[in-house]
Structure 1
């Protein structure tokens, strides 16, 4: 066991996750134990209060961290920590939603009117709290997306002015973006060189090079959105995609 610890201490978290995903259960246990303070801090940040080991939110956050370790992909661009924070935040918000729904069901059971009024007040406060959490999560996600776009020299305002105006042009651009996001070689080149692999794309699609270049910024932005960890933004635009 000492040998394992000595070896693993030299690895980055990303390297440890790679070993964990290959089946190293001892290393998984080690990482889960070592990162409990991080998990607790992430959960406390979402809940806006200190989270103890005995709290349900801590258990939910720890499970979410475990799932994040197993699902993390290096080619998505985010670090293990930032990805885990997103997963933990989403999982706790989902917990609050479920908890709120359970309280709503209790309201319809026979009982003292004063108790019912208390549940109503609790229900309303939970709604406000959950809405605030989701608003904060969306802001964080937009900030992360903006930071990634900045790496490609793009801004939200540019996307608005560079979005294809015609329906067919937008459909073609989205089709290309989906191809780029799903093709590991193309997306890796996009990330490493900060540019579209246009020569490779034009060989596989019935769209002119000129058209691809015209909508280059939009294609890059959509590719990043589809391939990254941006659940709120994706939910907002998925009907258009």
Structure 2
């Protein structure tokens, strides 16, 4: 590479934020891609280790998957979605590692039922072990899917300036107040015009809403964060969290 071009690239790299570097990479800057991946190898290892619950070495398959997942995250990252690159990358890396672990668990969970053993007792034992292993695997899979949903939900809330802790702290204290807030959220989620306003402005069209509900403007403003959090939950693919909300709402 010519010295002048190299100096210009170095100057550009020093002045760009990580998100700005990603934009340059997505335009085809391979040198910058290699630099970013190399600089963030400790981050990748930390993300992989947090899922695997152990230290990750360069020669581990999980580390290679983490590198590829980080590269994928860089190429798919969209700054206007609200989350930072590192937050987005952490989700992508976690999903890829979880998929890898699940695949290995499936292979280990299935015993060899065709080993040539003719014993009925042996076959019954193998079938019992298979059923037990698959039940355990499914329980672990469901638990992980719930964790993944919470991560996704947290990222979705961030677009509206909310955190998961806000949802807990802003939840109305009285049951009837919670039910009213949830009913209002359902009404808003079913109104395309209001939803479009919320997604664009990142706030509720309170003036229009108060004309259609029995709640006062003051009550709507007080429960604003909780209502938005419920709308985000309804509008997303959060099956486990939605089921939990439905069970609470039906009580």
**TM-score for the superposition, normalised by structure 1:** 0.64
Partners of 2:181 and 2:162 in 1: CA distance: 27
1:81 is aligned to 86
Question: What does 1:139-218 correspond to in 2, within 5 Å?
Answer: 148-149=162-163, 155=169, 157-158=171-172, 161=175, 162-165=177-180, 169-176=184-191, 180=195, 185-187=200-202, 190=203, 196-198=204-206, 202=208, 208=212, 214=220, 216-218=224-226
Q: Give the 3 Å change call, closer, same or farther, for CA 152–96 of structure 1 in structure 2.
A: closer
How far is the alpha carbon of 1:35 from its aligned partner? Answer: 1.2
1:16 lines up with 2:16 in the alignment:
no
Q: Is the 8 A contact 2:146 2:240 kept in 1?
A: no
Q: Give the 3 Å change call, closer, same or farther, for CA 182–89 of structure 1 in structure 2.
A: farther
Q: Is the 8 A contact 2:233 2:242 kept in 1?
A: no
Greater RCO, CA 8 A, separation 6+: 1
SS in 1 for 2:115: coil
User: Which of the two has higher C-alpha Rg?
Assistant: 2
List per-residue Cα deviations over 1:152-198 (Å, max 9, x = no partner). Answer: 787263398554459975531323599647975323xx4xxxxx354
1:94 is aligned to 99
**TM-score for the superposition, normalised by structure 2:** 0.62
List per-residue Cα deviations over 1:53-93 (Å, max 9, x = no partner). Answer: 22111121112212222333334433221222122122211
Unmatched 5+ stretches in structure 1: 191-195
SS in 2 for 1:107: coil
Q: Is the 8 A contact 2:186 2:231 kept in 1?
A: no
Q: Is the 8 A contact 2:25 2:33 kept in 1?
A: yes
1:237 lines up with 2:241 in the alignment:
yes
Q: Give the 3 Å change call, closer, same or farther, for CA 137–78 of structure 1 in structure 2.
A: same
List per-residue Cα deviations over 1:17-62 (Å, max 9, x = no partner). Answer: 2333344333223212221221112112221212122211112111
Partners of 1:76 and 1:212 in 2: CA distance: 32
Partners of 1:207 and 1:24 in 2: CA distance: 53
Partners of 1:24 and 1:59 in 2: CA distance: 22
1:105 lines up with 2:106 in the alignment:
no
What's the RMSD between the two structures over aligned residues?
Answer: 4.7
For these two proteins, the number of residue pairs brought into alignment is 222
Unmatched 5+ stretches in structure 2: 1-5, 247-251
